[in-house]
Amino acid sequence: MPNIVVVGTQWGDEGKGKIIDILAPYFDFVVRYQGGNNAGHTVMIGTKEFTFHLIPSGILHPGKEVVIGNGVVVDPEALIQEIQDLRNKGVDIGPHNLHVSKSAHVIFPYHKISEKIREEESIGRIGSTRRGIGPCYVDKNARVGIRMGDLLYPEVLKEKLRRNLKEINLILTKIHSLPPLEFKPLFEKYKEYGRILAPYLKDTFLILNRAIERGKRILFEGAQGTMLDVDFGTYPYVTSSNATAGGASIGTGISPIHIDEVIGVMKAYTTRVGEGPFPTEIKGELGDKLRNAGPIGEYGRSTGRPRRCGWLDLVVLRRSILVNGIKRMVLTRLDILGYVKKVKVCISYRWKGKEIEVFPDDYACWNEVEPVYEEFEGWSEDISKIRDYHSLPAPAKRYVERIEEMLNIKIAMISVGPRREEVIIREKLW
């Protein structure tokens, strides 16, 4: 399988970062195709922790090249900081192994301001990460966005920024009685970002297509998850890009004919950060227990917010499997379920007397559905040291196999802890 996409099948935070880190050695390029620094994950190697928001974690592997594709939105300040932080930790990173698309859109301070206004004045509050991601994609689609490549040409940047500030300043001053943004300091700052990032800015679609022609292997790293996809998620409680597998093609310029497989990553239970429907959410003590169990608790990597926790939802997963074309899954955080006595799995929903098996498009029902659960005996033991599937406690194996049966997929790998080596491989993914 030369080129594969790794996608989150729930509401993000399934542990994709670690899986990418395990798979990276078998690929030549690791590529991000959507989202921005709203994403975040930590890779633990021994006692060292590396945090990633924009740069694919594949950079940790010598000889690999990583790409921030055209579908990503980039906050240049955050990118420069991330490059610096990784360098300070001894990671080899430079224009030889990091390529940033000239077509990726740039996040400006006015994107963060308009998001703050939306969220705080409750004009459609969705609990975003407030990194300006949504408004940046709005500008992209409204055809007034500024792209990374524009930062290389001061005259172009000047013209586009002037035009945008004219509009945003009218909104800030006339509608919100806020002070306007000044052109000069903003222009100078972004021109300087352009100067710093110039060696990294490239026609990444070309680099990647040429690499494919030479038989190189590409690993596509999805950020967020299927249920946060702007088309297939719980709209409007979603992010503003296509986190699903289709986004990989659009967000990089690699034709779908070159994508060979889509691997899904699913957590052994469900979490979500921010607002929005979550049928299997567990409120109260048990939810808190899941949140705080294990070596790394369920708190947002980018914002530190506590994640809402709930039981595994097969209705959600069936939607993800269809939309992404998943045949093989990685199951993560199975160790965490060792902390609870009984484990439940939602196998369908009931709504107005109907049984629902695949998460439907109808917004009207999402907060009203009643989950139908199947209950499992827990295993109440620490499984984080286990590396061989057959050594898992019988109830844990029953859990895994019942999920496979009900979803008609293969669980190829099981993660039982945050470290690289804490994994059970049942079938090779590469």
Catalytic machinery residues: 13, 41
Binding positions for ligand IMP, rule: CB under 6 A: 12-13, 38-40, 126-129, 131, 133-134, 223-224, 228, 239-240, 273-274
Could you tell me the smallest distance in angstroms from the CB atom of residue 356 to ligand IMP?
A: 23
The rounded distance, in Å, linking the Cα atoms of 237 and 277 is 8
Closer residue to ligand IMP, CB minimum distance, 97 or 240: 240
d(CA 206, CA 252): 9
**Whose Cβ is closer to ligand IMP: residue 57's or residue 239's?**
239
* Cβ 127 vs Cβ 302: under 8 Å: no
Closer residue to ligand IMP, CB minimum distance, 226 or 249: 226
Length of the chain: 430
CB of 225 to ligand IMP, least distance (A): 7
- 212, with CB counted inside 10 A (0-12, 13-18, 19+), is middle
> C-beta of 183: minimal distance to ligand IMP in Å?
27
Q: How far apart are CA 306 and CA 283, in angstroms?
A: 13
Six token digits for residue 336 = 């965490």
Residues 155/115, Cβ–Cβ less than 8 Å = no
CB of 246 to ligand IMP, least distance (A): 18
Residue 302: CB minimum distance to ligand IMP, A: 6
Find out whether 270 and 280 touch, Cβ atoms under 8 Å.
Answer: yes
Closest to ligand IMP by CB, 274 vs 294, is: 274
State the nearest-atom distance from the C-beta of 191 to ligand IMP, in Å: 27
Q: Which is nearer to ligand IMP, 149 or 310 (CB)?
A: 310
For residue 236, say if its preceding peptide bond is cis, omega within 30 degrees of 0.
yes
Following DSSP, what letter does each residue of 375-422 receive, concatenated?
EEE---S--TT--SGGGS-HHHHHHHHHHHHHHT-EEEEEE-SSBTT-
Nearer residue to ligand IMP within complex by CB, 131 or 333: 131
Paired with 48 in beta bridges are 45
The Cα 169–Cα 182 span in angstroms is 9
User: Which residues touch 362 (CB under 8 Å, ≥6 apart)?
Assistant: none
Nearest residue (beta carbon) to ligand IMP: 274
